[in-house]
A and B are shown apart, each in its own frame.
Chain A
Amino acid sequence: MKNEELWQAALGDIELSISKANFITWFKNTSIISNENGRVVIGVPNGFAKEWLENKYNTYIYKALRSFQEDVREISCVIHNPQNNSSGEKAAERSQASSFNRDKAVESNLSASEPSQVQAGTQQSFDYISESNINPRYTFDNFIVGENNELARAACYAVSQNLGRIYNPLFIYGGVGLGKTHLLQSIGNEILRKDPKKRIKYMTSERFANELIDSIRNQTINEFKSSYQQIDLLIIDDIQFLAGKEKTQNEFFHIFNALYQINKQIVLSSDRPPRAIATLEERLRSRFEGGMIADVSSPDLETRMAILKAKLAEKSFYLEEDVVKFIAENIKNNIRELEGSLNRIMAACEFGQKAPDMELVKRTLSDLISSGKKKGVQQNHVVEAVANFFGIDKKDLINKGRKKEISRARQIAMYLMRKELNASYPGIGSVFGGRDHTTALHAYEKINRELETDSKLREDVEVLTEKIYEI
């Protein structure tokens, strides 16, 4: 039984034994964090709940859990905040990037050079953003080129030199924190550098949708449309969030067409290629595919080291070669994490007035790289993510069936367990209905081999890897 189901079942039992008020007060926002070898760790929202559950309700919890899972021996509570997951962090970072990171002087220059649509007398806030929304920090000069992003960077640069004439639309896709936003913003900055009079708009698709909704409510839809149709370069980040929003897609389609017909440049980004965005209207999909599509993938070790060195130079900070290598080897998937760990090391050094030697770095990053994986992700997450992704039943995945689609999915699941969780081959075998460890080994090697040549498979695995951590 999954942790979530187990906890729901146990809560059902507990609810009957205590008063409703107590139940709501103490069990709200609780969950099972881990469940291993009979030790169950329950995540609670605050210290009061921790004390109460450990001291007063432990027998209720124990009994309830025991009735569903017999080997429960020990129960403990930790204070756990569910916002701490990756999506929350990304949102926080994004809002931070858009609100406080600006160089004020550049920002006001930018806004002064553009037709101001801000009404007279609006209170500015610190997260006041100039109309173009371009962050001057991101330029082509400080973008590190590696094998993983060569094509995307070249395409973006070409677009910035030849606005609207070569690749239109330009579609960039790739995983979280790999530099899509950097590339997109670089185009904007390059254009503004050459000609500050050009009208540029950088938007996330979420913001686009919100503005559209506002304009519908305020009955200013025509102004909204015409404001978009007057710009020279439209950049929409994270276009995948348009999926499922039909009205927004419809409006976007018209704006897209209007701009496209008069050769205005459009640049889009997404975490997956257009054909992999579910519920995207066919006519939009075909238009997205009509221009140039380029991907950015995870950087290799050398590129990661180059990125770290560039960041170090930018921050005028020095790290030994082996320390740089250590960080690059351990923080693999995401450039944002790479920068974050560097910031942590700098803070630690600055504070302790210590040299950033290997020991300090290891200690500072210990919780980031404990075996390089996030805690709390378990094998059943992988099974579930894979089953959902391929639209098959979890049971089929585990059982003996040898249908081609199912065995393929099973191999991918085995590969992910090995790669993401470092699970042992015999362990993987036993998850999948007691298969032999050689089966797991074979699956891992097969997928690993195919990944090198099969780009469709690579995309699937990337999306799946993210899905696992989302569950």
Chain B
Amino acid sequence: MKVVCTQEKFKKAIYSTERVVGKQITLPILENILLETEGGMLKFSATNLEIGVFLKIGAKVEKEGQITVPAKLLSSFVNNLPTDSTISLEAENQVLKVSSGSVEGSIKGLLAQDFPIIPEMEGNFLFSLNAQKMKESINRLIPCASLDATRPELSGISWIFSDSKVFLAATDSFRLAQQIIPIKKEQEQEYNLFVEKNNSLVVPANTLAEVFRVVGPETKEIKVSIEESQIFFQIDNIRIVSRLINGKYPEYKQIIPKQFATRAIVSKDELLRAVKIAGIFAKNKTGEVRFEIDSDGGQIMVYSKAEEVGDNKTVLQSQISGPKQEIIFNPRYIVDGVQTIPTERVVILVNDNASPAVLRMIEGSENKENLDYTYVVMPIKA
């Protein structure tokens, strides 16, 4: 193999693929990136057998061929190269020679034939999503996904499809985040057929984290297809395939309350500060922070106390409707939830001190509640 391409494209391709490679003791080739020429382009592939990634970049191919080399080594080498316009690669006898400007390196590789085959799509893309909106949403949901290995389905993000939207949700059974996102059908008939058969699936959270890491600010859309327990994403020139999590996601929609007794609108930054301070005084990780929502006084008191440490309180001005409430939360869950809210103001929705409470965004001067994003958190039982 002999190839010349621009250094910029090469670096970007390595950056997009190298993170996927696994730390595999049993199969060392999984730590490698596969480089091969294909149709006058240079193709990069990497996989950890859960996720597979590949992409092609334009290059001047002087001699066809293929090789796999350790991803970490290649990436560190390339990242430290002095900026130059081009980089040339030459593979012979399982050694990859890389040269750019005045620097040259030889990297020992493994046989390309032993590299796993990354599954390819058979059909067409079913639908596409707005890349920026999706990236923002996934980053909101990932912190809620569970790390508990005994319930693997909770370690993923649930996708439930309807005619024109997808409901994304993550929960660790203490809190839950749901985001509704519009979709654009690529293949109307096939999409309808797919949804008719099976309108929900669970995608591993770490796959999604990976997918949306490669979404750049100029990426417009993400195309998606689902085939045979696998999901395929196309992001610009990058293709990602992941397994799906087998298992039934809990029927979470029923736990999002439809109505609320008390509605309190506060400044997001003030709320975040108050809960963070309360968290300092709340003992250890399972600390408690008490919210007293005083509808007559139009204020929320955020309060915490630990015998051996001390106590604190913050009073927040708030627009409140509905009866008084007193409710206790784990400060960590509230901080996680408030941090995902990009708007200046946030609404706290409460029924009573034993039912799930909800955080939502407030938009515009008319105090409009944004129903696309919902963060549900269970209180601590007093």
Q: How far is the CB of B63 from chain A (nearest CB, A)?
A: 25
Query: Is B77 on the interface with A (CB-CB < 8 A)?
Result: no
CB distance from B203 to the nearest CB of A (A): 14
B286 interfacial by beta-carbon distance below 8 Å: yes
Q: Which residue of A lies closest to B241 (CB)?
A: A47
- Distance between Cα atoms of A56 and B230 in the complex (Å): 21
Chain A residues closer than 8 Å to B288, beta-carbon distance? 121
B228 within 8 Å of A by Cβ?
yes
Contact with A along B35-53 (1 / 0, CB 8 A): 0000000000001011010
Q: Is the interface of A mostly helix, strand, loop or mixed?
A: helix
In the bound complex, CA of A444 to CA of B288 (Å): 67
User: Which size bracket describes the interface of B in this complex?
Assistant: 35 or more
Interchain CA distance A56-B113 in the complex, whole Å: 9
A121: which B residues are within 8 A, CB to CB?
288, 328, 380-382
Most buried by B among A21, A47, A89: A47
Q: Which of A351-365 contact B (CB under 8 A)?
A: 351-353, 363-364
Q: Is the CB of B195 closer than 8 A to any CB of chain A?
A: yes
Is A48 touching B356 in the complex (CB atoms < 8 A)? no
The distance from the CB of B348 to the nearest CB of chain A, in whole angstroms, is 17
Q: Are B251 and A126 in contact (CB under 8 A)?
A: no
Q: A48-B117, A348-B196 are in contact. Are A125 and B255 (CB under 8 A)?
A: no
Asked if B26 and A96 sit within 8 Å, CB to CB, the answer is no
Residues of B within 8 A of A1 (CB): none
The CA of A93 and the CA of B199, in the complex, are separated in Å by 18
Q: Is the CB of A83 within 8 A of B251?
A: no
Residue interface bits A119-130, CB-to-B below 8 A is 1, else 0: 011111111100
Are A351 and B117 in contact, CB atoms less than 8 angstroms apart?
Answer: no
Flag whether B248 is at the interface (Cβ < 8 A).
yes
Asked if residues B354 and A124 are in contact (CB atoms below 8 Å), the reply is yes
Whether B174 contacts A48 by the Cβ 8 Å rule is: no
Tell whether, in the assembled complex, residue A92 and residue B248 are in contact, meaning their CB atoms are under 8 Å apart: yes
A99 contacts partner chain B, Cβ-Cβ < 8 Å:
yes
In the complex, A278 has a CB within 8 A of chain B: no
Known: A51-B117, A108-B352. A352 touches B196 (CB 8 A): yes
Quote the shortest CB–CB distance from B127 to chain A (angstroms): 14
Cβ–Cβ contact B229 & A99, under 8 A: no
A79 and B47 within 8 A (CB): no
Q: Could you give, for residues 97-131 of chain A, a 1 whenever the CB lies within 8 Å of some chain B CB and a 0 otherwise?
A: 00111001100100100000010111111111000
A305 CB, nearest partner CB in chain B, Å: 25
For B162, the chain A residues whose CB sits under 8 A away are 351
Inside 8 A of A83's CB, which chain B residues have their CB?
246-247
| Neighbouring B residues of A21 by C-beta, 8 Å | 26-28
Give the CA-CA distance A104 to B351 in the complex, in Å. 10
CA–CA, A435 and B196, complex, Å: 46
| B350-382 contacts to A (CB < 8 Å) | 351-352, 354-356, 378-382
Complex interface: chain A residues within 8 A of B230 (CB): 46-47, 79
Residues 325-345 of B at the A interface (beta carbon under 8 Å): 328, 330
Q: Are B378 and A126 in contact (CB under 8 A)?
A: yes
Q: Are A351 and B243 in contact (CB under 8 A)?
A: no
List A contacts of B174 (CB < 8 A). Answer: 123-126
**Extra A-B contacts (5), CB below 8 Å, given A21-B27, A123-B380:** A46-B230, A96-B248, A100-B251, A105-B355, A363-B196
In the A-B complex, the 8 residue pairs with the closest CB atoms: A47-B119, A51-B117, A81-B246, A124-B378, A21-B26, A125-B173, A108-B354, A92-B248
Jot down 10 A-B pairs with beta carbons below 8 A, ordered by A: A48-B47, A121-B382, A123-B174, A123-B330, A124-B378, A124-B379, A126-B250, A126-B252, A352-B196, A364-B197
